[in-house]
Structure 1
Amino acid sequence: MTTNAPLPEVLRYTAFSGEPEGGNPAGVVLDATTLDDATMLAIAADLGYSESAFLTELPDGIDGQEGRAYDVRYFSPKAEVPFCGHATVATAIALAERIGPGELVFSTRAGVVPVSVTQENGNVRATLTSVEPHIEEIADADLDEALAALGWPGADIDPAFPPRIAFAGARHLVLAAATRARLADLAYDFARLEALMHRLDLTTVQLVWRESATVFHVRDPFPVGGVVEDPATGAAAAAFGAYVRELGLAPEDAVLTLHQGEDLGRPGELTVTLRAGDPRVRVSGTGTRIG
């Protein structure tokens, strides 16, 4: 950090809920020009949220789009992560309150992420468009280790949803619970799951339960970020959208609703939109400032 430079204001916003007590809180620093990596990590650790976003304005734009363009870096309390969906939504809403709704473009370590912000019935809603996603299989031994760390018997996995690693800006292991009760009972070996996730370069484990064809309940253990569980995870939602489309578990054109945070007392709702002919996934939600 520049010598004697004052620390910038750290805003607190929640994403994927219109209530401060819901969704996933994130720190937002709208001008991180003077901050070095150690200072950003220290701010994120001091806040204790699963991620915080740090912006530097790019006056010349990105890919020919001038203005409303920013370099964005994301830090958990323990490390930098390449992309964070809920902090992206929180940041876009914070910006919209200052410069108005409209189109934004974020340069992240995972790639360029366009974000559209609209005003709907008094609520501000942000929609991010992921980088191009992909999925890959997980080795049997790694899957066995993940289930052992979670304390999930193999019979608790929904056979209609094969375990896969999905990427839409960050890597997530997708595991589907056979019952809502299995999803609700989350008590895992923090160190054991963290070690596996570091080895596989995973950001979270996306645990899901299907309520209906388009409605899912999800939870995201996040030990690699120093957090037991992420309350609402936009990057994992994008990865999950890519996962269900790739495996034919949802139509090419689909709108999915993901409920997350209920088991933590911080309910949130994420909307995942798939479009035929476009491999990218859109994730949207509301948000609001915290106190």
Structure 2
Amino acid sequence: MRLDDEQMSDNVEKRSGGGARTGIIGGGIGAVIIFVIALFLKQDPQTVMQAVQQVQGNGGGEGTSEQLTKDNSSAIEQFSAKVLHSTEDVWSDQFAKMGMTYYKPKMVLFTDATVSGCGGAESAMGPFYCPADKKVYLDVSFFNELEQRFRVQGDFAKAYVIAHEVGHHVQNLLGISNKLHSLRGRVSETEYNKYSVMLELQADFFAGLWANHADKMKKILESGDIESGLNAASAVGDDKLQQASTGRIVPDAFTHGTSAQRMSWFKKGYETGDIHQGDTGIGLGTAANAN
């Protein structure tokens, strides 16, 4: 990726020294986050839930917090901030075309653990978006996991992860996420998981859409970048993660979609660059009414 000329986003918060043991992750959004990110990391969701429960209630908090700058950041943190800035440019433009204002999310870079509006955030949970406080949470050590465990190489694979989480923010702003959350308790778990898959595939589509427009704006893509993104999407398909972690595939427990589905929707977003092509079955919220 060519990001040398890209600015760092002003909306990146760096935290250190936080215990993050006070948030209660149980039902609702917290349970969904635990489940989907446990699958993302090829870990048993129940194991992750138990680990979080063991450390909750032990005190702690956010620790020290400061805005990320070139002077207090590592190369990978600066890279993450540049990717976020690129998503801000693209989505501000896309929302303007729909006659809307894009409210930029914050991205919190932390180490080991912190507190989010959705409860405690642990590194083991992986990157996630919290709709309660409209922030993306990321321990950049996850990128080592991406390379070492998932065997996914390249800067664009890392950018895809951030763009996917920002895609959830877009869904939140458009009212799409609320549609999913309103179904909790009203439909069976199997049915709810199907809608969860639709939401995740749409975030993959939005990540592809970002790549399309970011490249048109500033020519950020290099040879092999899209393949890197497709490899990342493939590596975190539910079928591959379940097969690797349990030795079997249970479609009714899917929450993110198969490798083929994730690759397909990311590719569709990249090739079309058209937000109106991104209805994976859950709708497009406010975007559906835009000209």
Instruction: Sort the TM-score into its range (normalised by shorter chain).
Output: under 0.3
Higher helix share: 2
Per residue, is there more strand in 1 or in 2?
1
TM-score w.r.t. length of structure 1: 0.27
TM (norm. structure 2) is 0.27
